[in-house]
Amino acid sequence: MRTANIGRGRLLFAVPTALAGVALAWLLATPDGPSPTAAVRVLAVGLGATVFGLAAWQWLQRDERRPALDAGLLWRTLAAAAGAWTLAECVLVVLEAAETEGRSHFAVAPGTVVDFVRVVGAGRLGAVTVACTALVTLIAAVAYRRSLPWPAAPVLALTGLALIARPIGGHMSQQTLGSLLDAAHVLAAATWFGMLTALALTARSRGAWASLLPRYSTIAWRCVWVLAATGLINAAVRLGGIAPLVTTGYGRVVLAKVVALAGLLAAGWWLRRTWVGPAAAHRIDADASLRRAVGESATMAVAFGLAAALATTA
């Protein structure tokens, strides 16, 4: 158990790899961006994706008599992750308010934040996000503390709304179906990353990995194709041609995302052959599956860093 807890602690390696993705985007895009808020944004999105993944597993096993994942552990982990997500979103709102007013990120007055939330569209979307994440935290905490059979669908819906609130008001919101494409892109990415990190946090036995990893693998491949298709359309509309891929900061970050996605696809294909099948056949123990999940999550976090930076790149 001690070894497993240490392994789960290594999920924190996803933080520096996500920040490395932001740093890479900064090198590629300067002076077009990204905003300094991208560093906080990627932490918020990563936590949000994890909450989404936990809620998704809770929902998927709603009718199972003997669920592979303990419901109490799912709610407890979800409450903790959602609480951290709420904090990150609050910090992000403050930083965005300071940036909008041209003030120091460390010397923003409360009135500036209130005005940002009340008047500016991005501020209102930020407030909606915070409200959703706080409500998810409360529901999960109560469900865990009182051992309530709370349905996961409302939590999953609230989490999804919180994840897409900012993106649907971004670059693509002025285009036909732009917001819908952005929402699909974000939710596909959250499912791909979040369901794996959720497994790493809550799967305690070889049997759990054997039961759930093949299901995750099937869902993940579908998400990858949605992610690739929506990302391609978004980039084509935003850039309007081939030349901007190398002549603009935005285009160069898009290229980096394409390379990252290709690398993750190759890694996913290899893991599907060497991990998913053997795990389903109970030939890999829980600790070995945990190590692979942690490594894959940390690698995927680089792409999340690039995506968070891209959202604030001109």
Residues 6+ apart with CB under 8 A from 273: none
In a domain, residue 147? The reply is yes
Of these ranges, 8-17, 82-91, 115-124, 171-180, the one predicted with the greatest mean pLDDT is 82-91
Q: At 8, is the pLDDT very low, low, confident or very high (cuts 50, 70, 90)?
A: confident
The arithmetic mean of pLDDT across residues 86-102, rounded, is 90
**Co-location of 159 and 48 in the same domain:** yes
Lowest mean pLDDT among 16-20, 53-57, 119-123: 119-123
The predicted structure's pLDDT at residue 109: 81
Instruction: Identify whether 119 is part of a domain.
Output: yes
**Which domain range does residue 243 map to?**
1-33+206-306
* Arithmetic mean of pLDDT over the chain: 90
Average pLDDT over residues 33-53: 93
Same structural domain for residues 131 and 241?
no
51 and 124 co-located in one domain: yes
Domain count, the chain: 2
Each residue's pLDDT tens digit, 163-201: 999 888 765 556 667 788 899 999 999 999 999 999 999
AA identity, residue 92: L
Confidence tier at 23 by pLDDT (50, 70, 90): very high
Whether 172 is in a domain gets the answer no
Helices (H), the chain: 2-9, 14-29, 38-60, 71-101, 110-119, 121-145, 152-165, 178-202, 206-239, 244-247, 249-271, 277-280, 286-310
Amino acid of residue 136: V
Q: In whole angstroms, what is the distance from residue 268 CA to residue 288 CA?
A: 16
Q: Do 47 and 157 reside in the same domain of the chain?
A: yes
8 A C-beta contact, residue 61 and residue 68:
yes
**Residue at 98 is within a domain:** yes
- Answer yes or no: do 27 and 67 share one domain: no
Q: Is residue 210 part of a domain?
A: yes
**Mean pLDDT of the 84-89 span:** 98
Boundary residue ending a domain (142, 165, 188): 165
Give the Cα separation of 61 and 64 in Å (integer): 5
Q: Say whether both 126 and 237 belong to one domain.
A: no
**By three-state DSSP, how is residue 137 classified?**
helix
In a domain, 48, yes or no: yes
Enumerate the H helices of 30-151 as residue ranges: 38-60, 71-101, 110-119, 121-145
Between helix 71-101 and helix 121-145 the angle, nearest 10°, is 160
Shared-domain flag, residues 41 and 149 = yes
User: Is 181 a domain residue?
Assistant: no
Residue 3 has pLDDT above 60, yes or no: no
Instruction: Look at residues 165, 195, 222 and tell me which one is the last residue of a structural domain.
Output: 165
Across residues 212-237, what is the average pLDDT?
Answer: 93
Q: What separation in angstroms does the CA of 131 have from each of 43, 86, 113, 138, 151?
A: 18, 8, 15, 11, 19
Same domain? For 86 and 67 the reply is yes
What pLDDT does residue 57 have? 96
Residues 13 and 105 in one domain: no
Domain boundary among 148, 165, 182: 165
Could you tell me if 39 and 159 lie in one domain? yes
pLDDT of 105 reads 60
Same domain assignment for residues 91 and 155: yes
CB–CB of 308/45 below 8 Å? yes
In a domain, 285, yes or no: yes
Q: Looking at the structure, tell me whether residues 46 and 157 fall in a common domain.
A: yes
